[in-house]
Structure 1
């Protein structure tokens, strides 16, 4: 395996590394992802229980193995991937310029360097 130059390492880091840009603490995902899945599955089970209860109310005793109904799509929580580091850095630079923290030409040069090194198109893809 050939040795990588520092420039190549940085380019690969911009492309491969991911950052949580959802707006919450990145460590909190450890608790919030399982909690959200649990809540959405609980919603689905609850809807099934209610449907079964209504069925038994109108038809009397019902064997659960005989009842076939589609799973209600109430629990609609989904995970999504974190954003590429290059997209996150570009977004931060653009925001810094909007808020007046950095000179526009300086940030534009850095953004152009990132896009050139990673061969990203003109717009950010993750936002």
Structure 2
């Protein structure tokens, strides 16, 4: 196995390192993601128990069929997660956003963004 050059290491770092783009503080995501999944599951269980409770009593095919249809017709709440973005995409977004400001540093930031893109072999998109 041959050694990697610093340029190769930098390129791999841009591609493999990840950044949190969930929109929250990384520490709060650790708590809020499981909490919101629990809320969704709890809401599903509550709805199912209410629907099945309506079908209790004397065995009746009509009520049982109606309860089953209500259970199957409702869309269940599902909490979806998504992965973090690559460092290169995060830097591209961040430098684009900062270059859009009118504070005189736009040319420097655009050059920095273009450097990141060149390191990754991406064409300049503007």
The normalised TM-score by structure 2 is 0.77
Identify which of 94, 108, 111 aligns with 1:92. 94
CA distance in 2, matches of 1:115, 1:54: 60
2:58 equivalent in structure 1:
60
Note the C-alpha offset of 1:15: 0.8
Q: Are residues 122 and 49 of structure 1, via their aligned partners in 2, closer, same or farther at CA, if it must alter by over 3 Å?
A: farther
Deviates more, 1:103-112 or 1:19-28: 103-112
- Segments of 5+ residues of structure 2 without an aligned counterpart are 61-66
Separation in 2, partners of 1:80, 1:87: 15
Query: How large is the RMSD of aligned CA atoms in angstroms?
Result: 2.4
Which blocks of at least 5 consecutive residues in structure 1 are unaligned? Answer: none
| 1:12 and 2:36 aligned | no
Q: Is the 8 A contact 1:44 1:73 kept in 2?
A: no
The offset of 1:115, in angstroms, is 1.3
Structure number with larger C-alpha Rg: 2
Aligned to 1:113: 115
**By percentage of residues, which structure has more helix?**
2
TM-score (norm 1): 0.76
Q: Distance in 2 between matches of 1:38 and 1:71?
A: 22
